[in-house]
């Protein structure tokens, strides 16, 4: 009988996070202070982040030790299983072997607690009482609400309006853990009020919700800001996913030929893929392909420009060198709310620019086609974000069938879709629209990029 599931013991839980900055071909371009035009220093970030996280953001140490209280919290659900998708393989009649890392077993239902718990811990250790954050689909907000409860912190979540309306049960989950949740744009901040004055019907965006959360944190001495993606320390905390997956592939006697992950800001993709990319950087896996999958409605890697830009709409964050559609980009209301972001993690962008990873954009309906096929074969109903990866996994497996190649394809199933059934209902009644962000809108947003002399 072919083994389906590969499970590690608690003693196999990683003791350190992997920091890809130690192995990049060149250092990442530094974040720039928008006022001075100079690289930012720790003092510039201190109003937003605890010093421990600021240190991790700039560290070039390869391995960062995971504090024991964080590992103890991880043990609630980690290590997560690696599963061979045998029934999907049979349905596709492919010689490819398909494996998925199943991150939907966490209390929040996604990979997000891997960094939420670490961020809550470091803030607690430095005397912070309250956290402010944004959330798109609600997975990050749920994770931080859960982590804040573990460490007895208050939590305020600015949830992108379209997701706030589409996913009420995500909001209720956050409130169950004690978080305060408002729709973004809100009347609680000047950034939110300005957006509502400009367009009272705006669906909101992650960039705008970030502006609100940053303003909230910067205006209160007891509050710090927590971010669910993009920054180096966030992606580093997520590398427990890929580190576990590598051990599990060894148990399966496999070496990955194709690594796939969905990508919006970069957290689940980086956390899963970076430990594998480390082998490529070291020359041990030159033939392995690493594929980032984004929505056609927010195609920052495939259609954006690799330049310095703000991480938020109100232009309050440091400038980051990244693939961006422009900070004024307002994405259409697709159901993969966690991927509706104008930019991308600088580390992911650097790898893409160096052609160490690939990127592809897919439409909403083909993505849900893949999600339904996966649910009807493997049983798990995937989050719409994760379904983007499944779309490409299925395409790769079909190519293997046509070519008669038995490749090993591994992807990160970053969360379940139990709170996304409204999107599935719209798909099943054929009421989903495919959005392709117009090229002229991209040009319009990019025209407003800040000028950086670097």
Q: Characterize the bridge pairing of strands 82-84 and 97-102.
A: antiparallel
Model pLDDT, residue 335: 54
Positive or negative: CA dihedral 393, 414, 265, 56: negative
* pLDDT of res. 333: 62
Burial of 67 (0-12, 13-18, 19+ CB in 10 A): middle
- Indicate the class that CATH gives domain 48-57+112-230: alpha beta
Whole-number mean pLDDT of the chain?
A: 93
DSSP one-letter code for 442: H
Per-residue confidence (pLDDT) for residue 317, from 0 to 100: 83
Q: Is cis: bond before 185, omega within 30 of 0?
A: yes
- Per the document, the length of the chain is 454
Return the CATH fold of 5-10+68-109+233-446.
Rossmann fold (3.40.50)
Cα gap 364→18, rounded to integer Å: 33
What pLDDT was estimated at residue 338? 60
Q: Residue 260 — very low, low, confident or very high, per pLDDT cuts 50/70/90?
A: very high
Residue 412: in which H helix or E strand, if any?
Answer: strand 408-413
Give residue 113's pLDDT: 98
Q: Would strands 180-184 and 289-295 be described as parallel, antiparallel, or unpaired? A: unpaired
Q: Model pTM? A: 0.94
Strand ranges of the sheet holding 180-184, from the earlier edge strand across to the other edge: 180-184, 154-160, 130-135, 223-225
332 confidence band (pLDDT: 50, 70, 90): low
Taking only the tens place, the pLDDT of each residue in 151-166 is: 999 999 999 998 899 8
Chain segment 295-323, per-residue pLDDT in tens: 998 889 999 999 999 887 778 788 999 99
Residue 417 has pLDDT above 80, yes or no: yes
Answer yes or no: is pLDDT of 215 > 80: yes
Of 315, 307, 367, the closest CA to residue 343 belongs to: 307
SS3 content of the chain, % helix, strand, coil (to 5): 45, 15, 40
Indicate if the pLDDT at residue 72 is higher than 70. yes
CA distance 51 to 49: 6
Q: Residue 430 — left, alpha, or beta (φ > 0 → left; ψ -120 to 50 → alpha)?
A: left
Cis peptide before 79 (omega within 30 of 0): yes
DSSP 55-103: HHHH---SEEEPPHHHHHHHTTTPSPPEEE-HHHHHHHT-S-EEEEEE-
Q: Is residue 339 scored above 70 in pLDDT?
A: no
**Per-residue pLDDT tens for 268-292?**
999 999 999 999 999 998 899 999 9
Please report the sign of the dihedral spanned by the C-alpha atoms of residue 376, residue 379, residue 383, residue 389. Answer: negative
CATH 3.40.50.1100-classified regions of the chain: 5-10+68-109+233-446, 48-57+112-230
């Amino acid at each position: 009988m072919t083994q389906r599931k590969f499970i590690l013991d608690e003693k196999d839980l990683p003791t350190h996070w992997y920091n890809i900055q130690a192995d990049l071909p060149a250092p990442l371009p530094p974040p720039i202070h928008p006022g001075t035009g100079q690289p930012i220093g720790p003092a510039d970030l201190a109003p937003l982040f605890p010093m421990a996280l600021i240190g991790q953001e700039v560290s070039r140490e390869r391995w960062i030790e995971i504090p024991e209280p964080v590992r103890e919290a991880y043990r609630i659900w980690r290590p997560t299983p690696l599963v061979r998708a045998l029934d999907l393989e049979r349905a596709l009649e492919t010689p490819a072997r398909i494996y998925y890392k199943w991150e939907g077993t966490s209390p929040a239902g996604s990979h997000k607690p891997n960094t939420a718990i670490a961020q809550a811990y470091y803030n607690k250790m430095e005397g912070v009482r309250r956290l402010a954050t944004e959330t798109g689909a609600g997975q990050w907000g749920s994770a931080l609400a859960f982590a804040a409860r573990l460490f007895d912190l208050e939590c305020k979540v600015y949830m992108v309006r379209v997701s706030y309306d589409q996913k009420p049960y995500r909001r209720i989950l956050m409130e169950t853990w004690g978080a305060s949740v408002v729709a973004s744009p809100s009347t609680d901040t000047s950034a939110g009020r300005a957006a509502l004055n400009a367009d009272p019907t705006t669906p909101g965006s992650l960039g705008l919700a970030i502006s609100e959360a940053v303003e909230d944190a910067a205006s209160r001495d007891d509050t710090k800001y927590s971010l669910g993606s993009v920054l180096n320390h966030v992606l580093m905390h997520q590398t427990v996913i890929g580190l576990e997956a590598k051990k599990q592939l060894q148990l399966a006697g496999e070496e990955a030929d194709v690594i796939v992950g969905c990508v919006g800001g970069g957290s689940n993709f980086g956390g899963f893929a970076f430990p594998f990319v480390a082998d490529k950087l070291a020359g041990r896996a030159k033939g392995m392909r690493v594929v980032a999958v984004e929505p056609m409605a927010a195609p920052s890697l495939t259609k954006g420009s690799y330049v310095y830009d703000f991480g938020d709409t109100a232009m309050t964050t440091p400038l980051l060198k990244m693939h961006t559609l422009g900070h004024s980009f307002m994405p259409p209301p697709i159901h993969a709310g966690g991927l509706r972001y104008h930019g991308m993690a600088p580390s992911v962008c650097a790898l893409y620019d160096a052609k160490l990873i690939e990127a592809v954009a897919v439409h909403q309906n083909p993505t849900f086609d893949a999600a339904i096929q996966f649910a009807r074969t493997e049983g798990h109903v995937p989050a719409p974000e994760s379904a983007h990866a499944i779309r490409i996994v299925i395409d790769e497996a079909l190519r293997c069938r046509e070519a008669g190649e038995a490749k090993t394809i591994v992807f990160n199933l970053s969360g379940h879709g139990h709170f996304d059934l409204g999107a599935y209902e719209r798909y099943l009644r054929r009421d989903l629209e495919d959005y392709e962000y117009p090229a002229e809108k991209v040009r319009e947003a990019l025209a407003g990029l800040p000028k950086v002399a670097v």
